[in-house]
Homo-oligomer: A and B are copies of this chain.
Amino acid sequence: MANKAPEPIVLVGTIGIDTVITPFGKAENVLGGSGTYFAVAASILAPVNFVSVVGEDFDQWPELERENIDLEGVARLKGKTFRWGGQYRENINLRDTLFTELGVNEKFAPVVPESYRGCRTVCLANVDPPAQLNVLDSMPNADFVVSDTMNFWIKQDPDTLQEVIRRSDVLILNDDEARQLTGKLNLLEALESVHRLGPSTVVLKKGEHGAILALGEDFFAIPGYPLRRVVDPTGAGDTFAAGFVGYLQRAGFRDPESMRSAAVYGSAMASFCCEDFSIRRIRTLTLKELQERVEAFRELVRFA
Contact = CB atoms under 8 A, between A and B. Distances in A.
Interface of A: 90-92, 185-189, 206, 208-210, 212, 218-224, 226-230, 257-258, 260-261, 263-264, 298-304
B228 A303 contact: no
A226 B222 contact: no
B302 A260 contact: yes
Contacts of A303: 220, 222, 257, 260-261, 263-264, 298
Given A209-B209, A223-B222, A228-B188, A301 B304 contact: no
Given A186-B229, A209-B206, A220 B300 contact: yes
Q: Can you tell how many copies of this chain the complex includes?
A: 2
Report whether over half of chain A's contact residues are helix, strand or loop; otherwise say mixed.
Answer: mixed
A240 to B, nearest CB: 15
A208 B185 CA distance: 13
A230 B186 CA distance: 8
Given A209-B210, A222-B303, A298-B303, 12 more contacts: A91-B185, A186-B230, A187-B208, A188-B228, A210-B221, A210-B223, A212-B226, A219-B226, A219-B300, A221-B223, A223-B223, A261-B303
A43 B184 CA distance: 36
A1 to B, nearest CB: 10
Interface centre among A91, A210, A229, A258, by most chain B C-beta atoms within 10 angstroms, is A210
A298 to B, nearest CB: 8
A59 to B, nearest CB: 35
A122 to B, nearest CB: 25
19 contacts: A186-B227, A186-B230, A187-B208, A188-B228, A189-B228, A206-B209, A209-B209, A210-B210, A212-B226, A220-B301, A220-B302, A221-B223, A221-B300, A221-B301, A257-B304, A258-B304, A260-B303, A263-B303, A264-B303
